[in-house]
Structure formats: structure tokens, C-alpha cells
Structure 1
Amino acid sequence: MARLIKPEDIPETLWHPGSKCLRLAPSLLTAWGHLLQYAGLEEKALQPVPNGEIGGLSKEETDDHLAWRFSGSSARVQLSLLDPRDELAGVSDAFAKVFSGGTVLLADLPCGSGAAVLTMLASIAELRRQGRVPRHPLHVKVVGGELSEFARDYAS
């Protein structure tokens, strides 16, 4: 069965086929930058990532995750949405169908600082902007749940 979004049709704003490098959507990078600025974490995000687990319930653990792991969380979602190597039989097509139009309820549990939802929406918006998926009216309702009050603040 032919893919709805073929790897060769993924715009270079999201995937560079020559280097096989994923690119986070431009609007996602802007949103993450604003979130880092809001949190006062721009400098921290430029520092080398320490070894070990990052994330948790405290403000410091939440900030560490936002600064250092947001992009990794985003990349995992974007890889499943785009499937540029054609390894996730049907997953990319399922996303393309669900987000082609109509009303979608997107539940994100645990949502952390919102990386998954932001990535999904920014990637779909970029695909729509580039004419790679239909641009029928789309209404997305998001429900998130998160234990960390600090991460909930960032996600909202």
C-alpha cells in the first residue's frame, strides 16, 4: 500500500534526506525558544547535557528536562509522525489520516512541558503549509495530565 506521506515528499524543513537528519519544525523551535525565555533557561539550554536521568517533580528537575531533553522528546514524536526511513508500517499514515481534518481529541499523559503536543501540532502545521497533507478544517482539542506543577505550567 502506498504511503500517504512518502519519505521523499517530507519537506526539507522537517527532514534532510542527504544527511538523514531530522529537523524540528520552525514554529516548534520558535515556541521552544519562547518557553526557554519565559522560564529563564536560555543559557542552561546551551550548556552540555550532564549524564543521567533528567526530569522529575521538582522545579529544578523540570527545568533541566525543558532545557536539555525537550528536543529529544520532540524528535521521537516527529520520527513516528514522519517515518522518513519507512520503518513504522502504517504509523505515519495513521497520523496523516487523523490530522487531515475534522475534530481530533489529543490526550497526552504524562504531558511534561508539552513537547509531544507542540511537536505534533507544529509538524502537522508545517506539512499542511507545505501542501503535503490535506488542509481541511481541523479542530484539535488537547487534554494533558502531569504530576509536576512546574511542567503543567510550561505545558499550558
Structure 2
Amino acid sequence: MTINSTQVSPDLAVLNINTWEWSIPNISQKNAPPSLAFHSATTYEIYMIISFGWSIRKTSPSSSIYILDIRSYTWVTTTAINNLGPLEPTPIPTNAGIPSSSTPTLIIVVSSVTGIVLFGSAIAGIFMYKKRQERRHYIATPGSK
């Protein structure tokens, strides 16, 4: 499989989420990975972890993992992640502040109102369509109203 990709410049842009401004950091090229396309990237603590993807120059898949220290923008070969321990999923609130006992009721009410509105719209549309069709087939003759 051949992937036709072009290397972009810059390789990395940083968004400051406090000011919503983009910047281009000066990244060390020591231990830098090859230019990749279709890779994954995620951050953990002070590191950006880049994995897999396709090497643009070799046009082949990459099975390597690369780590960027996002404080100094240097590529590292070892990390100082302490006490990683077993990973447990972070609970995500599903009700956005709505008490759990009222969630099913809220879903039923919203679904019912939506259904009624859609049903009413469908009925009104049918009547309007029939009325328009009746007008098209009406032929005026002398003496008719």
C-alpha cells in the first residue's frame, strides 16, 4: 500500500487555551521522529506521545512510539512518569447536573413532545398536500361557485 503524502511545515503548532492564540515552538531535532502522516498523538503529564502512522519519506507504516517533552520541546527516549499504577477510567457525568431519578422521566417527556410535534407536522402536511391537489383538479364552469 502506498500513501501519497507531503510533509507540512511546521510539524507542530501549539494552541494556548487561555488566550486562544497559536504559536510555533522551536523543537529540538535530536532524536526527532521521521515525518509521519495518519499518526495518533496524546498528552500525558508533560509528554506528548506520538505513535504509529505512516512515514512520509519511506511511505511505509511506523510501529514506533515517540515522546516529546512539552515543557522544553525536546524529544526524549526515557520518561519520568512516577507511580503510574493501574489505570482506572475517570467517571464521566452523564446527567449534566440532572438528578438520576428524573433522567428517565425527562427522556420520556422530551421524546413524547418531539413525537407529538412530528406527528402534528405530518398530519398538517398531509392536509395541505390534499388541499393543493384538490385545487389543481378543480375546473371552473359557468354557474359554479
Q: Same fold (TM over 0.5)?
A: no
**With CA pairs under 8 Å and 6+ residues apart, which has the higher RCO, 1 or 2?**
1
Larger C-alpha radius of gyration, 1 or 2?
Answer: 2
